[in-house]
């Protein structure tokens, strides 16, 4: 089954738009091959609010977020993971409102095959440390809203999604994106963990998924079945390449990703490496 990607998104940079009864979204002007139209910052509730993934430190974006929150109190700043398009503005925003930052600390290891240089455009916020280290199942609440931390390692080891009880929704960060598949970058990313985390979100039967990049996914079960199926099909292709004597990402990527923008090949190499590690972990190669 092909992935039923969702790519159409109606937005205006610098403007917080209501996307559901209790949710507003403000998109940062940091578009790119890994961020789509940019980082979507979610504001939950009214008056006393939570902010999920405040995004990058850009003057225009920070000013727009301050304007969107004028007259309101941020009681919680939540971060799905430590990449530069998600977490850097978390502490500056929290300090303005006297709010704690919730999340999981950046791991010590970030980079795979390419030395000290990040292999994805987003890069890592290696110094990210939350004020409150989230535990799986922990809830954060305010007037009219409740958010539940759901540990979803895979894209990164510290990735967390946030279930939103009042709207049967989930804020999925980079774990699930409607416009694209997610990158899994070893050694911090792990394909076994990623596939297990996808199944975990699917089992919750949310009605809507809100990724940090791109539009919402309104048929999550159908989408996630295809998302998981795509990964397993790609893994079969990689297994076949190994059987033909191609055993490194550098050998495999040009064969399997010939029609993909070459700017994405370094990220594709990381996902291939993650699949190779999973096959090895599972005793298949």
- The pTM (predicted TM-score) of the whole model is 0.93
> Could you tell me if residue 139 is inside a domain?
yes
With respect to residue 161, please indicate whether it lies within any of the assigned structural domains: yes
What band does 227 get if pLDDT is binned at 50, 70 and 90?
very high
Q: What is the mean pLDDT of residues 47-70?
A: 98
In this predicted structure, what is the pLDDT of residue 109?
59
Q: Is the pLDDT of residue 140 over 90?
A: yes
Q: Which of 1, 71, 76, 10 is nearest to 40 (CA)?
A: 10
Which structural domain, as residue segments, surrounds residue 209?
17-220
Q: Residue range 200-219: average pLDDT?
A: 98
Residue 166 domain-assigned (yes or no): yes
* Token pair 């090895």: residue: 280
- The CATH code of the domain that includes 100 is 3.60.15.10
The whole-number average pLDDT for the span 139-145 is 98
Return the higher-pLDDT residue of 123 and 273.
273
> Does residue 158 carry a pLDDT above 60?
yes
Residue 64 domain-assigned (yes or no)? yes
More confident residue, 50 or 111: 50
Predicted confidence (pLDDT) at residue 278 exceeds the cutoff of 60:
yes
Structure tokens at 179: 């416009």
pLDDT higher than 90, residue 239: yes
Indicate the pLDDT class of residue 182, thresholds 50, 70 and 90: very high
pLDDT value at residue 116? 42
Domain contains 283: no
In this structure, are residues 65 and 93 in contact, taking their beta carbons and an 8 Å threshold?
yes
**Which carries the bigger pLDDT value, residue 111 or residue 172?**
172
The CA distance from 73 to 100, in Å, is 12
Domain count for the chain: 1
Q: Output the pLDDT for position 53.
A: 98
**Is 278 inside a domain boundary?**
no
* Whether residue 98 has pLDDT greater than 90: yes
Residue 105 CB contacts under 8 Å (≥ 6 apart), including other chains = 82, 128, 129, 130, 133, 158
Tell me whether residue 242 is in a domain.
Answer: no
| Residue 108: pLDDT over 90 | no
What confidence score (pLDDT) does residue 122 get? 65
Average pLDDT, the chain: 94
Residue 243, domain member (yes or no):
no
For 15-42, what is each residue's pLDDT tens digit?
Answer: 999 999 999 999 999 999 889 999 999 9
Cα–Cα distance measured from residue 218 to residue 236, given in angstroms and rounded to the nearest whole number = 29
């Amino acid at each position: 089954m092909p992935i039923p990607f969702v790519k159409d998104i109606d937005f205006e940079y610098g403007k917080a738009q209501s996307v559901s009864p209790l949710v507003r979204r403000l998109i940062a002007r940091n578009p790119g091959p890994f961020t789509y139209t940019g980082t979507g910052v979610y504001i939950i509730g009214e008056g006393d609010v939570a902010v999920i993934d405040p995004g990058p430190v850009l003057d225009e974006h920070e000013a727009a977020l301050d304007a969107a929150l004028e007259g309101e109190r941020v009681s919680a700043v939540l971060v799905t993971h430590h990449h530069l398009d998600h977490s850097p503005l978390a502490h500056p925003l929290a300090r303005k409102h006297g709010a704690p930052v919730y999340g999981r600390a950046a791991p010590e290891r970030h980079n795979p095959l390419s030395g000290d240089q990040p292999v994805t455009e987003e890069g890592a916020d290696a110094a990210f440390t939350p004020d409150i280290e989230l535990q799986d199942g922990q809830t954060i609440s305010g007037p009219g809203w409740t958010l539940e931390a759901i540990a979803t390692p895979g894209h990164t080891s510290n990735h967390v999604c946030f279930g939103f009880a009042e709207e049967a929704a989930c804020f999925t960060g980079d774990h699930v994106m409607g416009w694209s598949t997610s990158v899994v970058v070893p050694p911090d990313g792990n394909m076994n963990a990623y596939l297990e985390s996808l199944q975990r979100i699917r089992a919750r039967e949310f009605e809507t998924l809100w990724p940090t990049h791109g539009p919402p996914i309104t048929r999550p079960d159908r989408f996630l079945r295809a998302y998981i199926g795509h990964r397993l099909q790609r893994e079969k292709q990689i297994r076949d390449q190994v059987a033909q004597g191609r055993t490194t990402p550098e050998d495999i990527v040009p064969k399997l990703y010939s029609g993909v923008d070459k700017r994405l090949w370094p990220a594709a190499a990381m996902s291939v490496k993650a699949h190779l590690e999973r096959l090895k972990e599972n005793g298949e190669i």
